[in-house]
Structure 1
Amino acid sequence: MTEIVATTPGLYPLPDWAKEQLKDQKGNQKEDLISGDEGAEIQDSYEEVRTEFIDAQQAASLDLVVEGQGRWDDMLAHPLAVNDAVDTRGIVRYYDNNNFYRDPVVTGDLEATGDIAEELEAASQQVENLQAVLPGPYSLADLATDEHYGDEAAFQAAIAEFLAEEAELLPDVETLFLLEPSLVENAPGDGADERASEAIDTVAGATDADVVVHPYWGALEEKVYAHVMDADIDALGFDLISDHEQNVYNAQEYGAPDDVALGIVDGQNTLVEEPETIEERIEWFTDQTQQNDYERIYATTNTETFYLPVNRFEEKLEALGALNKTEVKA
């Protein structure tokens, strides 16, 4: 029998009170923030945000709870933005949307900071069914600029080792989502696709948690899909909101892991899906890919949700949590 697990890929929208409070608190601390050294007031604000995120997920009855990544001002680039071997420079557009991040320029040898482990350790004091979130190594290398390693392959390998070190420091978590939108948005070519798979292997091998590679904003190209399927991961994500046809084709043509993550709630659109609609999307995917026998399906938003107003974000959590999993035919 297939297990349905309601969860999200994190990166939640900051509550309005937190935006104003943090804006005031950060006013004169720009250099400290760039180095990752926040003052006590700012740390307290983020602790309140974390608690609010966790409370919202628990109230919605999600099966796996994320920390929420309220501190990730630079979104997926955050793990580099707080690293001493990185200079944060000009503002860069975050993929093809109206969100921006500071360009993380790697200028020295990367070493783990434990920054994300600290966030998750704090979250673990409030919840047991914890899920970690990290950028995937291909996407993080794609979002960054290299002024140290000097070679694309060496840089991606260094990013993978850095993320593996960060993963080793994480507290006990049930699942680790590796977010890999660049595999879709800036697909690796011949040779690079195999290196991307090897980089994912490096990170996945650093944790005992179930590892989910979650691409989004479309579907993987066929060769990239085949290489990611070769990676030693537990589950692969399918963004059924952005491109359901190609994602289903990939699963039909090349198979799928025993566990899959289905992006079946729109992380960018304010229209809130009914639980019945979400259930129908799960059933549609499994009907279309009957040759695959799924043990676990992660029901999730297709993308991060920081694009959404807070009230719509919370309503989408509730819709996911309200899944009648005993009646979903998977």
Structure 2
Amino acid sequence: MKIVATSAGSYPRIGDRPEQQRHRQAYARLERCEITTEEFEKIQDEITQEVIEEQIKAGLDLVTDGQVRWYDPISHLARAINGCRINGLLRFFDTNFYFRQPVIEGKLSRRGAVLRREFSFAKKVSKKPVKPVLTGPYTLAKLSIDRSGLGLQKIVRNFAEIIAAEVKDLKEEGAEIIQVDEPAILKHPEEFELFSEAVEIIAGEKGSSYLALYTYFGDVAPLYEKMLELPIDVIGLDFTYSPRLPQVIEEQGCDKDIGLGFIDGRNTKLERPEELLEKLQQMLPSLKGDTVYINPSCGLGDYLPREIAFQKLKVVAAVAEGMRRMI
């Protein structure tokens, strides 16, 4: 069994130190037309490389681009979709973070690739493998307003086809593992069949890449058995919302590769690696996949100060190293 220390998505692009304020300052200058879009993009490239290097310094084996270019998990993708306009701010689940809500006004279609260039750049500047992360079609649909009359089923399918095209692009760019985030299904388990159909559409384009499906911000234990039946390679789970999940996994086992989100991505309190390793040791005999990913429960960029995020990733690396010694 291989143990991999990784991120679950975003990483803070702004920190407390003056040199870590560049993104905020550059965005303000862009708004005032003091710099061009190309100049702003170059600054985002520099910050992307910087946050990748911080993840590597923290001890991660598999990094993300930190989603530095993302305004939020929803509108970053929705802005590039025909039939969709971006509306006002709405709270992202039960967090203190807000996203710009899409309004669906007609059939959805992709204007062009969104993540291909972002992943290509991150891969070029990283000394470690890079995992692209994108929001899944069901969550995009559930957090949008339907003014089109298409209905939820068609909107989910439209989004699924668009995300599948993104996944195909990433596969062609050489992504070994692609993460799709679907937190919304935990709030609407009665719609699992619709959700499952969307996952199948995406899985059809993954090719030889590993498809990782991550959920968070809800109790996944009631859906765990169904999640294992999905055509995915990695199942990523948030344990901070699911107190019964370790017991469920011990009872039912896991034949897939699994992402263990024991490190709380929303709480500044730093976990003690030895305490987490005790919990993991109990579950270890039930994990039958080839790879276990140790990661935070969710992306860190929208919820934690940069220094705390860095320390959280050091905990991730310490737990991964401790787990390697167990097996």
TM-score (norm 1): 0.87
Paired-residue identity, %: 27
CA distance in 1, matches of 2:189, 2:109: 23
Partner letter of residue 26 of structure 1?
Answer: L
> Residues 113 and 166 of structure 1 are in contact (CA less than 8 Å); yes or no, is this contact kept in structure 2?
no
Which residue number corresponds to residue 177 of structure 1? 179
Instruction: Map 1:126-141 onto structure 2 (within 5 A).
Output: 126-127=125-126, 129-141=129-141
Q: Establish whether residue 317 from structure 1 lines up as the match of residue 313 from structure 2.
A: yes
Name the counterpart of 1:329: 326
Q: Please name the residue that 2:189 is paired with.
A: 188
Give the drift of 1:20.
2.9
User: Taking structure 1 as reference, are residues 129 and 100 closer, same or farther at Cα in structure 2, changes over 3 Å only?
Assistant: same
Counterpart residue type for residue 285 of structure 1: M
**Structure 1 residue aligned with 2:123:** 124
CA distance in 2, matches of 1:122, 1:310: 22
Residue of structure 2 equivalent to 1:34: none
For the residues of structure 1 that align with 2:153 and 2:247, how far apart are their CA atoms? 30
Residue 24 of structure 1: aligned partner: 28
Give the secondary-structure state (helix, strand or coil) at the position aligned to 1:65: coil
Tell me the residue number matched to 2:42.
Answer: 44
Alpha-carbon distance change, 252 to 284 in structure 1, aligned in 2, over 3 angstroms: closer
- The 2-side partners of 1:262 and 1:172 are apart by 25
Deviations 1:175-194 (A, max 9, x none): 1111111122x2231xx211
Q: 2:300 aligns with which of 300, 305, 325?
A: 305
- Post-superposition Cα deviations, 1:61-83, rounded to whole Å, max 9, x if no partner, equal 31111111011112244211333
Partners of 1:46 and 1:71 within 8 A in 2 = yes
Contact 2:93/2:217 (8 A) holds in 1: no
**Residue 221 of structure 1: CA displacement?**
5.7
CA contact (8 A) 1:134 1:179 kept: yes
Instruction: Determine the structure 2 residue equivalent to 1:225.
Output: 224
Local SS of the residue matching 2:131? strand
Is the contact between residue 23 and residue 47 of structure 2 (CA under 8 Å) also seen in structure 1? no
Change over 3 Å in CA distance of 1:57–1:149 after alignment to 2 = farther
2:168 alignment counterpart? 168
Cα deviations across residues 27-80 of structure 1 (Å, max 9, x unaligned)? 246xxxxxxxx7112101211110111111121231111111011112244211
The answer to whether the Cα contact below 8 Å between 1:90 and 1:102 also exists between their aligned partners in 2 is yes
Q: Find the residue that maps to 2:270 and give its secondary structure.
A: coil
| TM-score of the two chains, using structure 2 as the length reference | 0.88
Q: Secondary structure at the match of 1:241?
A: helix
Residues in 1 aligned to 2:257 and 2:249: alpha-carbon distance in whole angstroms: 12
In structure 2, what is the Cα distance between the partners aligned to 1:249 and 1:324? Answer: 23
Q: CA 1:201–1:320 in 2, change beyond 3 Å: closer, same or farther?
A: same
Structure 2 residue runs without a partner (length 5+):
16-20
The unaligned stretches of length 5 or more in structure 1 are 30-37
Query: Which deviates the most, 160-169 or 101-110?
Result: 101-110
C-alpha distance 297-47 of structure 1, shift in aligned 2 (>3 A): same
How many residues align? The count is 313
Counterpart residue identity of residue 312, structure 2? K
Counterpart of 1:5? 4
Query: What residue is the counterpart of 1:35 in the other structure?
Result: none
User: Following the alignment from structure 2 to structure 1, what is the Cα–Cα distance between the partners of residues 242 and 325?
Assistant: 22
